[in-house]
């Protein structure tokens, strides 16, 4: 089988395992991929390669070279008291690099083929692997190493960490919805027969039907109404009122008074109304909560758990891997090439370059040597470093940034959603109307209190906003579906409403207005590039990577030595080639703002390559569009010259350079104090606090993980067009939400006189409730039709 | 109308069975990973049959 596959794809330019670029004639990009491909073949899981689909947002399944597994024993739980006496060990791990169902299948099957494994299940929604095995047969570390050798990264998590509150709440709502739906359906069957048999039906049969209805409705309402009762009790205790109070009143009073009617052999019972109302309301509540739940980010988990391993150098000089969160100040740690610095500290040994984009957003790496201060989270690129740790955990710069984010979040004006704003006025109105109706019928109409109460309940049911509860969530569901198709992920449910209020925009430079990676500029020598690309293929340095990419990922030249901070040297058969900085190649440094690499041939002839971070292709047009909404400015951590240059290029007149994370937040707060609603678009870790402080924020999916977390919306791709698209969809959905709310209220208010007049029978209540809900849903679906008219091509995609 | 004495309990029992089925499915975690479940069906080879081809 394995051989068949190999023959079937004889000519290919992608690595057989990870699909990454390979040198001509090679089948694998690295030894790790070769052994992973072999392992998959040995396990008989080749189907994986045929059925997988790469998700461009995920990292390639490329195993990390000489990865050393860390000690997992802290996360393993063992229960001894299993039937049969064999103990079972459990472990939950977050999987990084899941692309599709094939990855899930591959991981599960590979693990299940190991002796001792009892269950292995990967959830594509939560990206979690739950494992159970017999501890005497195998170990957690062995099982984890198998998954890691296939190219996935694993981070152990505490199992209860994932069952967060939202998840449990959603499940509870779904359960309540099922019960309410069951009750509503069956009660309607009984009610319809009572209504249609009106007059003909013998009182005995009607009473029997009412009794059965009571039997279904009372437990169902008691169970399914709990979310509303809880919320109503909660606000009442604080002396407020919200929409849940009249809802709770209606769904408690309606069955109670109907029960009384049933006892006394009355004609009218509102059991079905209570259950149907509850069912509709629960649908709205469920959709709303699901939309509000933030997208899970594995990155936040990573950060929160300090899951990355660190290598500590012990007193006797031996090395040990421990979780980064167990590091202590004063210890020395060894940072391998390609790993992140585990804690803030000072370099004691080694010279290297660090990718500091996580901290500053800068794409050009920083040189470090002995006595340089380094920050947790930066990536070591070239040579191993020994650092003396001085700050760990909460004291690190990353932790500072997270604190800054939390502070910004707490200062942000609490946005009141449109539905809540309306409910605030509507709820007292409902209470008052129902109460006045009740009192009016007793005093003026001289009705017995039970009949008056029945009419008051009809008022409560009629005014109850089941359409109001559906008005906003349904639009949100439809809108977020559209955004997703356009490559925009809506992360907070009310972001669309907030987007509509934006009248000022702040942009980051690197990675937001620009693409965020270096690219070779035109004006180079093609032959020189061919050689430079082969030399550059040996290095992980971003400048070298850009050259190698531009040259088309050729076969690396050998033997090449890397001189940290200067360049690469290739000892070819006809002499020594050098690729590197002006100083390294003996050229005059003209200190231009571009990044320049020089190639020096053995005869002393030099060629230069200019690299730059290109502007996003449609930046100028989109900036012009956004300028119609309000003033735009750039807030960048970069130096003044490049910021000014870029501002001129895209046509923005206001810019601020050299901004630290706290400066950006301060700038946003100034704008807010001036009454502006700011949209912040940024990508770096240094933007994260500002993203939280803004009224609404967007980040590209290429952004630092923590910034993706902080932003309200994420957009894919190299273009900025999704920003204006999000505005368009937000505007449309805002209009639809308003229409829906108006529709729902008009409908309810129109029915109030009927209810006050005592003309609303249970039949009328049931019909009006269903039709108003259906109208609102249909109106929301018009968003589909509208967008299809506007974007016929996109719809087909 | 005595037929009602059979029909109503029958209707309620059938509805109740469906409800119980749904609640059981919810509890046993079948709604936990809807994305995964949609893709899982595309792969054969149950875990206990060793690959022989």
Interface of A with B in 408-427 (CB under 8 A): none
Phi, psi dihedrals of residue A351, rounded to the nearest 5°: -130, 135
Here the ipTM equals: 0.81
Residues of A in contact with B53 (CB under 8 A): 1, 44
Q: The dihedral of CA A439, A443, A444, A449: what is its sign?
A: positive
Output the pLDDT for position A553: 67
Give the residue carrying structure tokens 């050998």. Answer: A558
Q: Which residues contact A772 (CB under 8 A, 6 or more apart)?
A: A466, A467, A743, A744, A747, A748
Contact B16 A182 (CB under 8 A): yes
Output the pLDDT for position A360: 61
Kindly state whether A126 is in contact with chain B, defined as any CB-CB distance less than 8 angstroms. Answer: yes
Long-range pairs, A77-84, Cβ under 8 A, ≥24: A77/A159, A78/A135
Q: What is the mean pLDDT of residues A466-475?
A: 77
Contact B15 A185 (CB under 8 A): yes
Q: What is the mean pLDDT of residues B15-20?
A: 92
Long-range pairs, A308-312, Cβ under 8 A, ≥24: A308/A155, A308/A339, A308/A340, A308/A342, A309/A68, A309/A70, A309/A342, A310/A342, A310/A343, A311/A68, A311/A335, A311/A336
List the single residue in A with minimal CA-CA distance to B5: A208
A625-636 per-position pLDDT tens digit: 888 888 899 888
Output the pLDDT for position A179: 93
Q: What is the mean pLDDT of residues A264-289?
A: 83
Neighbours of A80 (CB within 10 A): 9
Output the pLDDT for position A7: 37
**Catalytic hit among A355, A508, A638, A683:** A508
The C-alpha angle with vertex A714 and arms to A708 and A717, in degrees rounded to 5, equals 110
Q: Do A713 and A495 meet the contact criterion of CB atoms below 8 Å apart?
A: yes
- A156 - beta bridge partners? A93
A706-725 per-position pLDDT tens digit: 677 778 888 877 788 888 88
Helix, strand, coil tally for chain B in percent (to 5): 60, 0, 40
Q: What is the mean pLDDT of residues A238-242?
A: 76
Q: Which residue in A1, A105, A182 is closest to B15 by CB distance? A: A182
Residues of A in contact with B9 (CB under 8 A): none
Q: Do A629 and A598 meet the contact criterion of CB atoms below 8 Å apart?
A: no
Instruction: Tell me the C-alpha distance between A128 and A162, whole Å.
Output: 9
Which of A401, A383, A304 is closest to A344 using CA atoms? A401
Would you say residue A580 has pLDDT above 80? yes
Kindly state whether A186 is in contact with chain B, defined as any CB-CB distance less than 8 angstroms. Answer: yes
Of A235-239, A289-293, A520-524, where does mean pLDDT reach its minimum? A289-293
Q: What is the mean pLDDT of chain A?
A: 78
Across A21-35, A127-141, A477-491, the highest mean pLDDT is recorded for A127-141
Residues of A in contact with B36 (CB under 8 A): 101, 104, 122-125
CA distance A69 to chain B (A): 26
Of A63-67, A445-449, A666-670, where does mean pLDDT reach its minimum? A63-67
Contact B12 A112 (CB under 8 A): no
Kindly state whether A170 is in contact with chain B, defined as any CB-CB distance less than 8 angstroms. Answer: no
Q: Give the model's confidence band at A295: pLDDT under 50 very low, under 70 low, under 90 confident, else very high.
A: very low
Q: What is the mean pLDDT of residues A56-60?
A: 66
The first and second tokens of residue A637, run together, are 């951590």
Q: Which residue in B11, B12, B39 is closest to A101 by CB distance? A: B39
Would you say residue A5 has pLDDT above 70? no
Q: Do A345 and A333 meet the contact criterion of CB atoms below 8 Å apart?
A: yes
Instruction: Name the residue with higher pLDDT: A165 or A584.
Output: A584
List the single residue in A with minimal CA-CA distance to B31: A171
Would you say residue A76 has pLDDT above 90? no
Contact A51 B33 (CB under 8 A): no
Kindly state whether A124 is in contact with chain B, defined as any CB-CB distance less than 8 angstroms. Answer: yes
Would you say residue A698 has pLDDT above 50? yes
The first and second tokens of residue B45, run together, are 């080879």
CA distances from A76 to A70, A73, A132, A208 (A): 13, 5, 10, 58
Q: Which residue in A47, A101, A125 is closest to B32 by CB distance? A: A125
Q: Do A531 and A551 meet the contact criterion of CB atoms below 8 Å apart?
A: no
A299-331 per-position pLDDT tens digit: 444 444 444 567 788 777 777 777 666 777 888
Instruction: Tell me the C-alpha distance between A723 and A728, whole Å.
Output: 9
Query: Does A288 qualify as catalytic in the annotation?
Result: no
Of A66-70, A99-103, A300-304, A616-620, where does mean pLDDT reach its minimum? A300-304
Contact A182 B8 (CB under 8 A): no
Instruction: Quickly list DSSP for A60-115.
Output: P-PPPTT--PPP-GGG-EEE---TTS--EEEEEEEEE---SHHHHHHHHHHHHTST
A410-429 per-position pLDDT tens digit: 655 555 677 777 777 777 88
Would you say residue A4 has pLDDT above 80? no
Q: Do A537 and A579 meet the contact criterion of CB atoms below 8 Å apart?
A: no
Instruction: Tell me the C-alpha distance between A27 and A11, whole Å.
Output: 9
Kindly state whether A123 is in contact with chain B, defined as any CB-CB distance less than 8 angstroms. Answer: yes
Which of A571, A562, A146, A664 is closest to A337 using CA atoms? A562
CA distances from A231 to A68, A225, A279, A282, A469 (A): 50, 10, 17, 13, 15
Q: What is the mean pLDDT of residues A451-476?
A: 79
**Which percentage of chain A shows pLDDT scores above 90?**
3
Best B33, B41, B48, B49 member to test A by mutation, with max A CBs in 10 Å, is B33
Kindly state whether A1 is in contact with chain B, defined as any CB-CB distance less than 8 angstroms. Answer: yes
**Which percentage of chain B shows pLDDT scores above 70?**
79
Interface of B with A (CB under 8 A): 1, 4, 8, 11-12, 15-16, 18-19, 22-23, 26, 31-36, 38-40, 42-45, 47, 50-51, 53
Kindly state whether A43 is in contact with chain B, defined as any CB-CB distance less than 8 angstroms. Answer: yes
For residue A340, give the DSSP letter.
B
Which of A461, A430, A433, A438 is closest to A251 using CA atoms? A461
The burial class, CB within 10 Å (0-12 / 13-18 / 19+), for A688 is: buried
Q: How far does CA A761 lie from the centroid of its chain? A: 47
Interface of A with B in 202-231 (CB under 8 A): 205, 208, 212, 216
CA distance B3 to chain A (A): 12
Q: Do A602 and A572 meet the contact criterion of CB atoms below 8 Å apart?
A: yes
Output the pLDDT for position B21: 93
Would you say residue A208 has pLDDT above 50? yes
A531-564 per-position pLDDT tens digit: 888 888 777 777 787 888 887 766 777 788 877 6
Would you say residue A787 has pLDDT above 70? no
Q: Give the model's confidence band at A477: pLDDT under 50 very low, under 70 low, under 90 confident, else very high.
A: confident
Output the pLDDT for position A546: 82
Q: Which residue in B16, B19, B36 is closest to A124 by CB distance? A: B36
Contact A101 B36 (CB under 8 A): yes
Of A252-256, A313-317, A793-797, where does mean pLDDT reach its minimum? A793-797
Output the pLDDT for position B14: 92
What are the start-end ranges of the H helices in A395-448?
397-411, 418-443
Instruction: Tell me the C-alpha distance between A262 and A259, whole Å.
Output: 5
Output the pLDDT for position B46: 55
Instruction: Quickly list DSSP for A479-522.
Output: HHHHHHHTTEEE-STTHHHHHTT--EEEE-IIIIIB-SS-EEPS
Instruction: Tell me the C-alpha distance between A710 and A408, whole Å.
Output: 11
**3-state SS class at A456:** helix
Instruction: Tell me the C-alpha distance between A123 and A670, whole Å.
Output: 44
In this prediction the pTM is: 0.67
Q: Give the model's confidence band at A182: pLDDT under 50 very low, under 70 low, under 90 confident, else very high.
A: very high
Output the pLDDT for position A219: 93
Kindly state whether A657 is in contact with chain B, defined as any CB-CB distance less than 8 angstroms. Answer: no
Instruction: Tell me the C-alpha distance between A465 and A321, whole Å.
Output: 58
**3-state SS class at A580:** strand
Q: Do A129 and A110 meet the contact criterion of CB atoms below 8 Å apart?
A: no
Buried b (16+ CB within 10 A) or exposed e, A383-418: bebbbebebbbeebbbbbbbebbeebeeeeeebebb
Would you say residue A674 has pLDDT above 80? yes
Q: The dihedral of CA A169, A172, A177, A183: what is its sign?
A: negative
Q: Give the model's confidence band at A240: pLDDT under 50 very low, under 70 low, under 90 confident, else very high.
A: confident
Contact B19 A182 (CB under 8 A): yes
Q: Give the model's confidence band at B51: pLDDT under 50 very low, under 70 low, under 90 confident, else very high.
A: very low
Output the pLDDT for position A613: 80
Q: What is the mean pLDDT of chain B?
A: 78
Contact B42 A51 (CB under 8 A): yes
- A155 - beta bridge partners? A94
What are the start-end ranges of the H helices in A238-297?
244-263, 271-292
What are the start-end ranges of the H helices in A537-687?
542-550, 619-627, 640-650, 661-673
Across A8-17, A92-101, B39-48, the highest mean pLDDT is recorded for A92-101
Instruction: Tell me the C-alpha distance between A406 and A392, whole Å.
Output: 19
What are the start-end ranges of the H helices in A295-378?
298-305, 357-360
Output the pLDDT for position A705: 65
The radius of gyration computed from the CA coordinates of chain B, to the nearest angstrom, equals 20
Instruction: Name the residue with higher pLDDT: B21 or A686.
Output: B21
- A654 - beta bridge partners? A633
Q: The dihedral of CA A181, A184, A187, A192: what is its sign?
A: negative
Instruction: Tell me the C-alpha distance between A16 and A117, whole Å.
Output: 28
Would you say residue A66 has pLDDT above 70? no
Q: Do A732 and A710 meet the contact criterion of CB atoms below 8 Å apart?
A: no
């Amino acid at each position: 089988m394995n051989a068949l596959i190999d023959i079937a794809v004889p000519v290919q330019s992608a690595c057989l395992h990870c699909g990454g670029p390979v040198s001509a004639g090679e089948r694998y990009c690295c030894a790790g991929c070769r052994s992973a491909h072999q392992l998959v073949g040995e396990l008989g899981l080749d189907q994986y390669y045929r059925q997988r689909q790469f998700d461009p947002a995920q990292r390639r399944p490329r195993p990390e070279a000489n990865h050393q597994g860390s000690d997992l024993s802290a996360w393993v739980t063992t229960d001894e008291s299993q039937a049969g006496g064999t103990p079972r060990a459990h472990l939950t791990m977050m999987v990084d690099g899941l692309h599709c169902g094939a990855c899930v299948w591959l991981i599960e099957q590979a693990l299940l083929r190991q002796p001792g494994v009892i269950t292995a299940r990967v959830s594509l929604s939560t990206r979690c692997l739950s494992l159970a095995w017999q501890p005497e047969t195998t170990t957690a570390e062995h099982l984890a190493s198998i998954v890691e050798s296939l190219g996935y990264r694993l981070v152990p998590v505490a199992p209860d960490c994932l069952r967060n509150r939202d998840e449990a709440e959603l499940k509870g709502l779904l359960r309540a919805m099922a019960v309410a739906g069951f009750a509503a359906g069956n009660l309607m069957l009984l009610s319809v027969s009572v209504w249609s048999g009106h007059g003909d039906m013998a009182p005995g049969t009607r009473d029997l039907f009412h009794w059965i209805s009571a039997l279904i409705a009372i437990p169902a309402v008691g169970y399914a109404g709990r979310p509303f009762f809880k919320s109503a009790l909660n606000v009442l205790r604080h002396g407020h009122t919200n929409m849940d109070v009249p809802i709770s009143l209606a769904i408690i009073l309606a069955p109670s008074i109907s029960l009384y009617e049933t006892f006394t052999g009355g004609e009218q019972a509102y059991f079905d109304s209570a259950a149907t109302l509850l069912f509709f309301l629960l649908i709205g509540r469920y959709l709303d909560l699901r939309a509000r739940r933030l997208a899970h980010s594995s990155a936040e988990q990573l950060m929160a758990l300090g899951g990355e391993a660190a290598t500590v150098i012990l007193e006797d000089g031996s090395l040990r891997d421990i979780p980064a969160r167990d590091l202590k100040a004063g210890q020395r740690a060894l940072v391998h090439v390609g790993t992140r610095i585990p804690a803030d500290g000072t370099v004691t040994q080694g010279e290297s370059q660090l990718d500091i984009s996580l901290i500053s957003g800068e794409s050009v790496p920083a040189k470090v040597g002995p006595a340089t201060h380094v920050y947790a989270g930066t990536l070591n690129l070239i040579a191993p470093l020994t650092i003396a740790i001085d700050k760990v955990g909460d004291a690190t710069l990353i932790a500072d940034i997270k604190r800054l984010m939390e502070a910004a979040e707490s200062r942000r004006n609490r946005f009141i959603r449109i539905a809540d704003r309306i409910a605030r006025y509507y709820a007292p109105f409902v209470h008052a109307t129902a109460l006045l109706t009740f009192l009016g019928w007793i005093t003026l109409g001289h009705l017995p209190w039970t009949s008056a109460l029945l009419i008051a309940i009809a008022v409560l049911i009629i005014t109850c906003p089941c359409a109001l509860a559906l008005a906003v969530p349904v639009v949100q569901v439809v809108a977020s579906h559209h955004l997703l198709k356009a490559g925009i992920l809506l992360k907070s449910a009310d972001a669309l409403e907030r987007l509509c209020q934006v009248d000022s925009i702040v942009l980051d430079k690197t990675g937001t207005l620009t693409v965020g990676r270096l690219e070779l500029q035109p004006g180079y020598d093609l032959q020189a590039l061919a050689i430079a690309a082969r030399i550059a293929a040996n290095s992980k340095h971003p400048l070298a990577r850009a050259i190698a990419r531009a040259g088309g990922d050729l076969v690396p030249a050998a033997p090449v030595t890397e001189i940290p901070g200067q360049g690469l040297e290739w000892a070819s058969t006809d002499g020594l080639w050098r690729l590197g900085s002006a100083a390294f190649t003996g050229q005059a440094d003209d200190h231009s703002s571009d990044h320049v690499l020089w190639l020096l041939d053995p005869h002393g002839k030099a060629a230069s390559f200019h690299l730059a971070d290109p502007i996003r292709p449609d930046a100028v047009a989109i900036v012009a569009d956004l300028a119609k909404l309000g003033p735009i400015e750039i807030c960048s951590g970069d130096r003044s010259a490049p910021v000014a240059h870029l501002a001129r290029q895209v046509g923005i007149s206001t810019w601020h350079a050299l901004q630290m994370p706290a400066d950006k937040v301060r700038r946003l707060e100034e704008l807010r104090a001036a009454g502006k609603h700011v949209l912040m678009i940024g990508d770096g870790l240094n933007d994260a606090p500002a993203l939280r402080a803004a009224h609404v924020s967007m980040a590209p999916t290429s952004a630092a993980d923590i910034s993706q977390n902080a932003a309200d919306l994420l957009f894919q791709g190299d273009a900025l067009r999704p920003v204006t698209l999000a505005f368009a969809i937000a505007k449309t959905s805002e209009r639809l939400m308003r229409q829906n709310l108006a529709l729902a209220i008009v409908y309810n208010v129109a029915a109030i006189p009927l209810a006050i007049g005592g003309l609303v029978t249970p039949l009328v209540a049931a019909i009006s409730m269903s039709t108003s809900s259906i109208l609102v849903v249909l109106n929301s679906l018009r968003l589909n039709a509208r967008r299809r008219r506007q974007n016929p091509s996109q719809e087909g995609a | 109308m005595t037929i009602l004495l059979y029909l109503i309990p029958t209707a309620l029992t059938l509805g109740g069975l469906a409800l119980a089925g749904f609640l059981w499915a919810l509890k046993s975690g079948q709604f936990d990973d809807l994305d995964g479940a949609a893709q899982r069906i595309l792969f054969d080879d149950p875990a206990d049959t060793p690959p022989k081809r």
